[in-house]
Amino acid sequence: MDDDLDTMDRAALIAEIRKLRAGIREHRDATGHDLCWHHPDLWALLPEKTDPAIAVPPWPKFMRGCIRYRQSLDRQAPGAPIHDQEFDG
C-alpha cells in the first residue's frame, strides 16, 4: 500500500512528511464546531484516492453519539475554554 515511499528520494520523503504533519496539525488544532465534521481533506493526504464508503447513523443514534463525544471532551479536556457560538456554516 505504501510502495510509493520506496521510490522517493530524501527530499521527496521530507516533503511528504511535512505535508502529512501539516494535515495532522490542522486536524489536531480544530476547535469549536469544527471538531464534529467529516474530514475528507485529511483523508486526501493519502496516496490512494478512494471515495470513502461512509455509513451515516439515523438521527437519534447520531445525536446520541454526538452527546457522548461531547461528554468525552468533558472528561479528557475538563479545562478547555468554552466556544459559545452557534454554528453558522
Distance between CA atoms of 31 and 87, rounded to whole angstroms?
A: 12
Concatenating the DSSP letter of every residue in 14-41 gives: HHHHHHHHHHHHHHHT--GGGGGS--HH
Does residue 69 fall inside a structural domain? Answer: yes
Does residue 88 fall inside a structural domain? Answer: no
User: Is 23 in contact with 45 (CB distance < 8 Å)?
Assistant: yes
DSSP 48: S
pLDDT computed for residue 50 by the predictor: 87
Tell me which residue range forms the domain holding 52.
Answer: 3-76
Does residue 27 fall inside a structural domain? Answer: yes
* Mean pLDDT estimate for the chain: 94
Does residue 25 fall inside a structural domain? Answer: yes
pLDDT computed for residue 88 by the predictor: 87
Q: How many domains does the chain have?
A: 1
> Would you place residue 37 in the very low, low, confident or very high pLDDT band (cuts 50, 70, 90)?
confident
- Global pTM reads 0.78
Does residue 84 fall inside a structural domain? Answer: no
Does residue 13 fall inside a structural domain? Answer: yes
Does residue 26 fall inside a structural domain? Answer: yes
> Would you place residue 53 in the very low, low, confident or very high pLDDT band (cuts 50, 70, 90)?
confident
Distance between CA atoms of 27 and 40, rounded to whole angstroms?
A: 11
Does residue 50 fall inside a structural domain? Answer: yes
pLDDT computed for residue 38 by the predictor: 87
